[in-house]
C-alpha cells in the first residue's frame, strides 16, 4: 500500500473520494506519518528534519505556487519530486491587484489612510494608463486580463519573450535581458511585481531598478518580499519618485507593528492575503487528485518544480 500523508486536511467527502478512487493507497492526516509516507500533500516547517530522513518519500504536492519556503537543494539531492499549485490562486491575486488599482485611481487611499477627514481626493483615469507586469505566468496573465478589461495598456516582462498566447493578453512583452539593457526610462503608471522568491530575484527591485521607470508611478508587490530592497523602496517613496506602493509581501513577515510602512500615507500594506480564497480545499484537491492519477499511472505530473529555476 502507498502511504499518502495529507497535511492539508480534507473534507469528509474529499477523503471518501480519495479512498474510493485509490484503493491501493492509505490516506493519513497524522503528522507522525511523515517518517515513511511515499506522498505528502502540503508542508510543515517543524516536520522538515523528519521528512528529509524519509527514504520512502517520492513526491510532495505544495499547496502554493511559490516554493521558496521548501529546502529545495536538499529535496533535489534526495531525488524527491516537488509540484506546486501554480494557477490555483491566480484569479484571487488578480482581484486583489484590481482592488489596489481602483483604490488608487478612485482616490480612496487618502480616505482610508486619513479617517475622519472630509476631503475630495484626486482621481485618475484608468483607461488611459499603462501598466508593466513582471512575470507572465498564470498570475501575470490573469492580472493582464483584468487590466485589459479596465482599458489599460499592458506590458509583460519575462525571461523568454512573447508567444502567440501571450500576444493575445499583453500589448507588449519584453525579456528581462531587454529590460536590463534599456537606456531610456520606461513610461508607466504602475509596476506590478509577481516574481517568485529565488536566488536570481533576491533584491531585484533595488534603487537602480526602481528608477528605470518614469517617476510618479505606483509599485505593487504580490510576488515575494525578498525581491525588494525595502529601504530603497522607502527612499523612493520619501523623495516622491514613487507616487505610492501597495504591498502584500515583505522582506520580514509578519511585518512588525513598528514598521513605518503601516503608517505611511503613501502605502497600503496587507498581510500576505492576496491569494486567499473562500473555498481553498475545494480548489486544491482536484489538482492533487489529478496528480495522484498521473502518479499511479506513471505519467508526467502537473506543475513540477524546476529545482534549477527554483519555481
Fold match between domain 2-87+278-297 and domain 90-269: yes
- Could you tell me the residue ranges of all domains in the chain? 2-87+278-297, 90-269
Using 50, 70 and 90 to split pLDDT, how confident is the model at 61?
very high
In Å, the largest CA–CA distance within the chain is 67
Class of domain 2-87+278-297: alpha beta
Sign of CA dihedral 11, 16, 19, 20: negative
Q: What percent of the chain has pLDDT over 70?
A: 100
Taking only the tens place, the pLDDT of each residue in 5-54 is 999 999 999 999 999 999 999 999 999 999 999 999 999 999 999 999 99
- Tell me 255's DSSP state: P
- Assess contact for 39 and 61: CB atoms under 8 A: yes
Q: Which residue has the cell 505519467?
A: 299
Taking only the tens place, the pLDDT of each residue in 121-137 is 999 999 999 999 999 99
Q: Which helix (H) or strand (E) holds 13?
A: helix 12-21
Using 50, 70 and 90 to split pLDDT, how confident is the model at 64?
very high
Chain mean pLDDT for the chain = 97
> Is pTM beyond 0.85 here?
yes
Please state, in angstroms and rounded to a whole number, the distance separating the CA atoms of residues 120 and 295. 58
Taking only the tens place, the pLDDT of each residue in 127-183 is 999 999 999 999 999 999 999 999 999 999 999 999 999 999 999 999 999 999 999
Using 50, 70 and 90 to split pLDDT, how confident is the model at 256?
very high
- The stretch 242-259 carries a mean pLDDT of 98
- Assess contact for 237 and 212: CB atoms under 8 A: no
90-269 CATH, one of 1.10.3720.10, 2.50.20.10, 3.30.428.10, 3.40.50.720: 3.40.50.720
Q: What pLDDT score was predicted for residue 36? A: 98
What nine digits make up the cell of 115? 479617517
Amino acid at each position: 500500500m502507498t502511504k499518502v500523508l495529507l497535511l492539508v486536511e480534507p473534507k469528509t467527502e474529499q477523503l471518501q473520494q480519495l479512498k474510493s478512487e485509490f484503493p491501493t493507497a492509505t490516506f493519513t492526516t497524522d503528522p507522525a506519518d511523515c517518517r515513511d509516507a511515499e506522498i505528502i500533500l502540503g508542508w510543515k516547517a517543524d516536520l522538515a528534519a523528519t521528512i528529509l530522513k524519509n527514504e520512502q518519500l517520492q513526491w510532495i504536492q505544495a499547496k502554493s505556487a511559490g516554493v521558496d519556503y521548501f529546502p529545495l537543494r536538499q529535496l533535489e539531492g534526495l531525488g524527491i519530486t516537488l509540484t506546486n499549485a501554480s494557477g490555483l490562486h491566480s484569479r484571487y491575486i488578480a482581484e486583489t491587484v484590481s482592488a489596489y488599482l481602483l483604490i488608487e485611481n478612485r482616490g480612496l487611499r487618502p480616505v482610508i489612510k486619513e479617517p475622519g477627514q472630509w476631503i475630495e481626493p484626486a482621481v485618475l483615469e484608468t483607461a488611459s494608463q499603462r501598466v508593466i507586469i513582471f512575470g507572465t505566468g498564470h498570475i501575470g496573465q490573469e492580472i493582464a486580463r483584468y487590466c485589459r478589461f479596465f482599458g489599460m495598456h499592458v506590458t509583460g516582462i519575462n525571461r523568454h519573450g512573447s508567444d502567440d498566447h501571450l500576444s493575445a493578453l499583453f500589448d507588449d512583452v519584453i525579456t528581462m535581458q531587454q529590460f536590463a539593457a534599456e537606456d531610456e526610462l520606461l513610461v508607466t503608471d504602475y509596476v506590478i511585481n509577481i516574481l517568485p522568491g529565488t536566488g536570481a530575484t533576491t533584491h531585484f527591485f533595488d534603487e537602480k531598478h526602481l528608477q528605470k521607470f518614469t517617476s510618479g508611478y505606483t509599485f505593487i508587490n504580490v510576488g515575494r518580499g525578498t525581491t525588494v530592497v525595502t529601504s530603497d523602496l522607502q527612499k523612493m517613496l520619501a523623495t516622491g519618485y514613487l507616487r505610492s506602493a501597495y504591498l502584500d509581501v515583505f522582506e520580514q513577515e509578519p511585518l512588525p507593528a513598528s514598521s513605518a510602512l503601516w503608517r505611511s500615507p503613501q502605502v497600503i500594506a496587507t498581510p500576505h492575503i492576496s491569494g486567499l480564497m473562500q473555498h481553498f480545499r475545494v480548489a486544491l484537491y482536484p489538482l492533487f487528485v489529478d496528480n495522484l492519477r498521473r502518479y499511479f499511472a506513471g505519467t508526467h505530473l502537473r506543475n513540477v518544480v524546476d529545482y534549477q529555476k527554483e519555481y
